Amino acid sequence: MANVNENFLNLKNDYLFSTITEKRNEFEKNNPDKKVISLGIGDVSLPLAPVVIEAMHKAVEEMSRKETFRGYGIVQGYDFLIDRILDVEYKKRGVTLDNDEVFIAAGTKGDLAGIAELLSEENIVALMDPVYPAYRDANIMLGRNNIVYLKATEENNFTPEIPKEHVDIIYLCSPNNPTGTVLTRKQLEEWVKYAKENKAIIFYDSVYEIFIEDEEIPHSIYEIEGAKDVAVEFRSYSKLAGFTGVRCSFAVVPKELKAYTKSGKEVDLNSLFRRRQSTKFGAASYITQRAAEAVYTEDGQKQIRENIKYYKENAKYIKEELEKVGFIVYGGKNSPYIWLKTPNGMKSWDFFDKLLNEAAVVGTPGVGFGDCGEGFFRLTAFSSKEDTKEAVDRIIKLFK
Ligand code: PLP
């Protein structure tokens, strides 16, 4: 008899996005003349930058010739890309890393799940509430049910205090999905201090790093002294360069980072992750890595930043226009996410229904990201300028 991995049975249904889709489909069926605009999903809408397309074409051509054809790649990633990451993402910010501390992969979602496997299922995990649901689900799949939720509320500006109790694994996401808030240098210093004192590990998800505009906000956790001893950092080309369909990411696992056996012996996570990847991961494709490399050329940087500017203008428009009519709005500055407080204490799903049924606009109910998201609503800046403007205008008309 094949027994099922019962950890999977502890997962909650993916209720949030399936319910949104059901409600939208139902509305569209009943209102075929109305154009529904979605500011709901975190997927990008602008096409890839021309330098990226050019690099991919060139890599495909290379694959067509015997002399330049590439087969299985290097599991950790090609040095041509890792060198550029070290230079542009880190050296520029005073962070020195070795090539073998960076692992190229096919998206942060997979990296988050992969790294989580290296640590014991008995660990206590700290997650924010509200939270990007994949952190929680990846841990539940591993049988790690000892989860402490740290409340991210208006009162603490959506950045929870350091826990009073002991935890072993901490997920931090800055800029944050869904709240759009960022962690300051001081807050990160406190987390690093806590992690050191508790021999805990921080999983630092900064896939939205490119959206940071405030000078004083750190772009990498390694800008904080001592962070290499306690933190893994995750970055992705998904939002940075529109690679949601191409798939490329990297994780930094510093050689200083240690976890412990039950008897207290130190184990080096960098080697452990390399071992894990060489067994379970088949390397990101050569074509994809050449595409990511192109992001770091002068033209590449210019072109991807133009796309980010476009999304940031959307975020600014949503935030400012909604504020003008009295909404309380968070995020939207160092982030593509706008986290708005629903008016008159409306429940997140009631606000969703009102927007869909009366304005044909789709967003994401905050409560879907955790209980503390009740009474909030997430809008994203990733749609077209025209749709964003139209959606905001429709919302304003409803509440003016
Ligand atoms: N982390 C956060 C906070 C995200 O919002 C997302 C995607 O939306 C991811 C990770 C996954 O990124 P990727 O496309 O690289 O798998």
CATH of domain 7-48+299-398: 3.90.1150.10
Domain with CATH 3.90.1150.10 in the chain: 7-48+299-398
Compute, in angstroms, the gap from residue 86 CA to the centroid of ligand 1. 21
The pLDDT of 352-378, averaged and rounded, is 97
The Cα–Cα gap between 185 and 215 comes to 11
Q: Which two tokens stand for residue 139?
A: 């841990």
Q: How high is the mean pLDDT of the chain?
A: 96
Compute, in angstroms, the gap from residue 127 CA to the centroid of ligand 1. 16
The pLDDT of residue 234 is 98
The pLDDT of 101-120, averaged and rounded, is 96
Contact 42 CB / ligand 1 (< 6 Å): yes
Measured from the Cα of 249, ligand 1's closest atom is 15
Q: In this model, does residue 14 exceed pLDDT 80?
A: no
How far is residue 300 from each of residues 118, 155, 294, measured CA to CA in Å? 35, 40, 6
Q: In this model, does residue 245 exceed pLDDT 80?
A: yes
**Residues linked to residue 364 through DSSP beta bridges, in sequence order:** 378
Tens digits of residue pLDDT in 39-94: 998 899 999 999 999 999 999 999 999 999 999 999 999 999 999 999 999 999 99
Contact 187 CB / ligand 1 (< 6 Å): no
pLDDT band at 4 (very low <50, low <70, confident <90, very high): very high
Tens digits of residue pLDDT in 143-202: 998 999 999 999 999 998 899 999 999 999 999 999 999 999 999 999 999 999 999 999
The pLDDT of residue 151 is 96
State pTM to two decimals: 0.96
Nearest CA to ligand 1 atom 8: 42
Q: Provide DSSP, 184-217.
A: -HHHHHHHHHHHHHHT-EEEEE-TTGGG---TTS
Measured from the Cα of 109, ligand 1's closest atom is 16
3-state secondary structure of 361: strand
The pLDDT of residue 301 is 97
pLDDT band at 400 (very low <50, low <70, confident <90, very high): confident
Domain with CATH 3.40.640.10 in the chain: 50-296
Measured from the Cα of 42, ligand 1's closest atom is 8
pLDDT band at 17 (very low <50, low <70, confident <90, very high): confident
Helix intervals (H) in 199-341: 237-240, 269-280, 286-294, 298-324
Identify the CA nearest to 73 among candidates 39, 116, 105: 105
Compute, in angstroms, the gap from residue 69 CA to the centroid of ligand 1. 31
Tens digits of residue pLDDT in 261-317: 999 999 999 999 999 999 999 999 999 999 999 999 999 999 999 999 999 999 999
Measured from the Cα of 110, ligand 1's closest atom is 16
3-state secondary structure of 273: helix
Q: What are phi and psi of 51, to 5 degrees?
A: -65, -30
**Fold adopted by 50-296:** Aspartate Aminotransferase; domain 2 (3.40.640)
Q: Write down the number of H helices and E strands in the chain.
A: 12, 15
The pLDDT of 318-336, averaged and rounded, is 96
The pLDDT of residue 236 is 98
Identify the CA nearest to 48 among candidates 301, 307, 310, 297: 307
